[in-house]
């Protein structure tokens, strides 16, 4: 639409180089986003914009630039962002093709800034690594070696190196002396691919632990390509107890953070920053979920430190913003912050706080816009309605959740694809909308009411309420009204990926440093 302002590639490049605040939002679904996007684009699909934007772009005055690849999503996103109170929203001139035509570099996959940075670290620091065959030989010989898996625990449970222990990235320095108390023990750090192996290994090297440390080269992908066997469903993990070597870990972490340029901020200054509307400040608690839920600083968002470094774009979507990290012992925040600072973020750690200030409890809740009052029904009403034809259930959960289990007869669709999906659906006398919790479906009710004269209802409590009631379920791709493009299938997850896809992913990672050079906007440095 002609009344929408535009920002060009040149405008955004200038702002990135000046480290000004900006949010470049790709409002397509994750799969097309992963095919091609600018380095610092944050994927925030139109389908779930309201659920995430207030947390990911916290200030309404932030310059926001929106794009798609000609699907017509960007214009709708601009309108919706304006309705949500954002005052400086523009379209990217020419969309994705315009970025490329103007000379902008395009990247594949997801969480690319972090992955490209990891490759830069290895290229400059020559992070030590061992091939899968070398690690297997050590394990077979029962050598003095410990393998630490730096991924999330749920990823570890999917598949892991035999005998390895789950120690997510930010926990490594805090826990390594308990797991390898003998300085002669060889420590090996792995993930599924490369990035978290590199960052985890280099963290321990930077901290100067006495043990020899090496990354498992190419992670579980390299292990699989070498024809070696993985374990599945394991539960080995570090003990969530105060480490006996806390003093040494804290001293090392502080030295690394200072070398990276990380500052320490008081609670009073942090509160002043949070009240300042001229700048975006994110506050992240980087401890474990259990610690966070037991007690945390009010207003802090929980993101495990290793995942914050790995997926920064997914939670801090305003490039140029200020990041403040908090923990309870002075190790995890410092180590995580040291990497974020090298990735070009202004990064601080919160000064030590007395335990009583960690007064908020429970899981983090995303801030949401005001939700419209919509007509709702119970699961038992839906069950009654389903006894006669005419009631159509629409499910807006993730496609993976839908395939796993859904209400019998429910049709799955993307919210952003609602108008097109309606043309494929059977004629209905009434619609009942659901998702896992009903949260996203509540927003979709208003969308559908604008497109039809047929009554539209929300299933109160969503599919979770249906499951809790012990009602029947279906599995599989029984009724798909939209393409399953809401999630990009990563070549390094799961256990059934083609060899060519895994090797192609590694080849792509090896090429990221050259892409960073061509892009020229990253602002990364390596200590």
Terminal CA-to-CA distance of the chain, rounded, Å? 47
**Among residues of the chain, what percentage have pLDDT more than 90?**
93
CA distances from 307 to 116, 168, 249 (A): 15, 8, 20
DSSP state of 57: S
CB 224 within 8 A of CB 506: no
Model's pTM, two decimal places?
0.95
Residue 222 exposure: Cα atoms within 13 Å on the Cβ side: 22
195-207 vs 112-125: helix axis angle to the nearest 10? 50
Task: Specify the pairing of strand 346-350 against strand 322-326.
Answer: parallel
- Note the pLDDT tens digit of each residue in 396-433: 999 999 999 999 999 999 999 999 999 999 999 999 99
Strand order, beta sheet including 6-7: 6-7, 89-92, 64-67, 23-26, 41-43
Cα dihedral 341, 345, 346, 347, rounded to 10, equals: -50
CB 406 within 8 A of CB 412: yes
- Note the pLDDT tens digit of each residue in 290-305: 999 999 999 999 999 9
Cα dihedral 402, 404, 406, 408, rounded to 10, equals: 120
Lowest mean pLDDT among 23-27, 344-348, 419-423: 419-423
In whole angstroms, what is the distance from residue 402 CA to residue 391 CA? Answer: 19
Burial of 303 per CB tally in 10 Å (0-12, 13-18, 19+): buried
In whole angstroms, what is the distance from residue 422 CA to residue 413 CA? Answer: 9
- Note the pLDDT tens digit of each residue in 256-273: 999 999 999 999 999 999
**Contacting residues for 227 by C-beta, under 8 A, at least 6 apart:** none
In whole angstroms, what is the distance from residue 69 CA to residue 33 CA? Answer: 9
Nearest to 433 by CA among 416, 419, 449, 417: 449
Check pLDDT > 50 for residue 1.
no
Q: How many CB atoms lie within 10 A of CB 5?
A: 11
SS3 content of the chain, % helix, strand, coil (to 5): 40, 15, 45
Check pLDDT > 60 for residue 208.
yes
Check pLDDT > 90 for residue 163.
yes
DSSP state of 319: B
Helices marked H in 279-436: 289-294, 305-310, 312-315, 332-342, 379-385, 399-404, 418-422
CB 49 within 8 A of CB 80: yes
At 495 the pLDDT is 61
List, in order of start, the domains of the chain with CATH numbers: 6-110 (3.40.250.10), 117-237 (3.40.250.10), 253-357 (3.40.250.10), 376-468 (3.40.250.10)
In whole angstroms, what is the distance from residue 288 CA to residue 152 CA? Answer: 10
In whole angstroms, what is the distance from residue 217 CA to residue 192 CA? Answer: 10
At 286 the pLDDT is 98
At 16 the pLDDT is 97
- Reported confidence tier of residue 494, pLDDT bands at 50, 70, 90: low
3-state secondary structure of 450: coil
Q: How far is CA 8 from the centre of its chain?
A: 27
In whole angstroms, what is the distance from residue 129 CA to residue 279 CA? Answer: 40
CB 14 within 8 A of CB 63: no
Which position has the token pair 């005055």? 61
Question: DSSP letters along 272-314, please?
Answer: HHHH-TTS-EEEEE-S-HHHHHH-B-TTPEE--HHHHHHSHHH
Check pLDDT > 70 for residue 336.
yes
């Amino acid at each position: 639409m002609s009344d929408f302002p535009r920002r060009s590639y040149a405008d955004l490049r200038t702002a990135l180089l000046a480290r000004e605040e900006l949010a470049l939002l790709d409002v397509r679904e994750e799969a097309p986003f992963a095919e091609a996007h600018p380095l610092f684009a944050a994927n925030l699909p139109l389908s779930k914009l309201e659920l995430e934007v207030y947390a990911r772009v916290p200030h309404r005055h932030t310059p926001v630039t929106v794009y798609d690849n000609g699907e017509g999503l960007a214009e709708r996103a601009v309108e919706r962002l304006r309705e949500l109170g954002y005052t400086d929203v523009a379209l990217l001139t020419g969309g994705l093709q315009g970025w490329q035509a103007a000379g902008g570099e395009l990247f594949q996959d997801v969480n690319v800034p972090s992955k490209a940075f990891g490759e830069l670290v290895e290229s400059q620091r020559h992070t030590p690594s061992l091939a899968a065959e070398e690690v297997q030989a050590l394990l077979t010989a029962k050598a003095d070696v410990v393998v630490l898996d730096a991924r999330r625990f749920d990823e570890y449970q999917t598949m892991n190196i035999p005998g390895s222990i789950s120690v997510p990235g930010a926990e490594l320095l805090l826990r390594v002396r308990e797991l390898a108390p003998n300085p002669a023990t060889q420590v090996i750090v792995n993930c599924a691919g490369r990035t978290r192996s590199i960052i985890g290994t280099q963290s321990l090297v930077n901290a100067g632990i006495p043990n020899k440390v090496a990354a498992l080269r190419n992670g579980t992908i390299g292990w699989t390509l070498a024809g070696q066997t993985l374990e599945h469903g394991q539960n080995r993990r570090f003990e969530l107890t105060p480490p006996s070597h806390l003093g040494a870990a804290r001293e090392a972490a502080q030295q690394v953070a200072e070398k990276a340029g990380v500052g320490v901020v008081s609670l009073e200054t942090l509160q002043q920053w949070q009240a300042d509307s001229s700048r975006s400040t994110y506050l992240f608690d980087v401890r474990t979920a259990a610690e966070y839920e037991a007690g945390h600083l009010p207003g802090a968002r929980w993101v495990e430190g290793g995942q914050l470094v790995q997926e920064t774009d997914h939670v801090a979507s305003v490039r140029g913003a200020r990041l403040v990290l908090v923990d309870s012992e002075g190790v995890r925040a410092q180590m995580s912050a040291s990497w974020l600072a090298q990735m070009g973020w202004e990064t601080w750690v919160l000064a030590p706080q007395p335990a009583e200030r960690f007064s908020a409890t429970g899981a983090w809740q995303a801030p949401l816009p005001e939700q419209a009052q919509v007509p709702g029904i119970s699961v038992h009403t839906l069950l009654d309605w389903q006894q006669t034809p005419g009631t159509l259930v629409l499910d807006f959960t993730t496609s993976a959740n839908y395939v796993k289990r859904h209400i019998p007869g429910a049709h799955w669709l993307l919210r952003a694809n609602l108008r097109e999906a309606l043309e494929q659906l059977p004629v209905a006398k009434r619609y009942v909308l659901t998702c896992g919790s009903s949260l996203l479906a509540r927003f979709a009710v208003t969308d559908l009411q604008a497109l039809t004269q047929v009554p539209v209802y929300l299933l109160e409590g969503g599919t979770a309420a249906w499951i809790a009631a012990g009602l029947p379920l279906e599995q599989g791709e029984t009724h798909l009204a939209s393409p399953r493009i809401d999630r990009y299938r990563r070549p390094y997850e799961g256990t059934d990926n083609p060899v060519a896809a895994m090797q192609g992913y590694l080849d792509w990672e090896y090429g990221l440093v050259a892409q960073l050079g061509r892009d020229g906007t990253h602002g990364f440095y390596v200590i």
